């Protein structure tokens, strides 16, 4: 039986969900971002018990098909931006459509109507969050970061970065505030980032 789980966007979330399912005596086939596949059929009582446990940690079970699809879109973006090392070899819209077996126009319209933001902007915001992390880690230069994040040039990255944050990548790279959490630096600029992506707002991220 597949379970679809909202706000599950990190490896730590996956470990937590797997442990809780095991504690309930359930056997996991797989646990991925946004979903878990268990061998057993879950009773209504088990569903309620699991949902209560998950909600205490800021994540929750989902039943609505459209909500499940929206969460799948978010999880694909998060996984692609934060966990996949190699740049996409195809257009992002084609990739998303093929992963979810839906026309991209349908996915785009559904996402915009329910989230108040386009998939493209959601994707860009997460790319910029990842760029912030890479800048603060200081392991790659800006050219390497642009290549890693699939930007056509450093200028393209810098323009998009400033549009989202109000700052430039070089400002962060030159600043001496590496001990400050990245999202704190840009707090006043991140009104669009209300997707529970900071550790301050979510105990498992």
- Both 85 and 108 in one domain: the answer is yes
Residue 5 belongs to what domain range? 1-63
Beta strand 60-62 with 35-38 is unpaired
Pairing of strands 60-62, 28-32: unpaired
Specify the residue for token string 């929206």. 70
Domain boundary among 63, 78, 101: 63
Cβ neighbours of residue 176 closer than 8 Å, sequence gap 6 or more: none
Looking at the fold, whether 14 and 99 belong to one and the same domain comes out as no
Residues 150 and 132 in one domain: yes
CATH no. for residue 23?
3.30.70.100
pLDDT band at 132 (very low <50, low <70, confident <90, very high): very high
Residue closest to 123 by CA, chosen among 138, 134, 112: 112
Domain count, the chain: 2
Tally of residues, the chain: 205
Task: CATH number of the domain at 152, please.
Answer: 1.10.10.60
Model's pTM, two decimal places? 0.67
H or E segment to which residue 6 belongs: strand 2-6
pLDDT in tens, 87-118: 778 889 999 999 999 999 999 999 999 899 99
What confidence tens digit (pLDDT) does each residue in 5-49 have?
Answer: 988 878 888 899 999 999 999 999 999 888 899 999 988 899 999
pLDDT at 65: 86
């Amino acid at each position: 039986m597949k379970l679809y789980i909202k706000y599950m966007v990190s490896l730590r979330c996956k470990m937590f969900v797997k442990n809780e399912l095991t504690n309930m005596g359930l056997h996991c086939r797989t646990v991925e971002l946004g979903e878990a596949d268990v061998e057993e059929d879950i009773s209504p009582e088990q569903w309620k018990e699991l949902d209560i446990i998950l909600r205490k940690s800021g994540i929750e079970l989902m039943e609505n098909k459209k909500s499940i699809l929206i969460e799948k879109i978010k999880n694909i973006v998060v996984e692609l931006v934060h966990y996949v090392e190699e740049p996409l070899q195809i257009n992002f819209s084609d990739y998303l459509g093929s992963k979810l077996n839906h026309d991209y126009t349908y996915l785009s319209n559904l996402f915009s109507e329910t989230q108040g933001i386009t998939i493209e902007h959601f994707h860009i915001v997460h790319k910029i969050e990842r760029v912030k992390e890479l800048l603060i880690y200081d392991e790659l230069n800006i050219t390497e970061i642009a290549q890693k994040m699939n930007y056509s040039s450093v200028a393209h990255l810098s323009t998009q970065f400033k549009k989202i944050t109000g700052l430039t990548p070089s400002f962060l790279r030159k600043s001496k505030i590496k001990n400050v959490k990245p999202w704190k630096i840009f707090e006043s600029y991140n009104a669009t980032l209300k997707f529970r992506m900071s550790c301050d707002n979510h105990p498992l991220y």
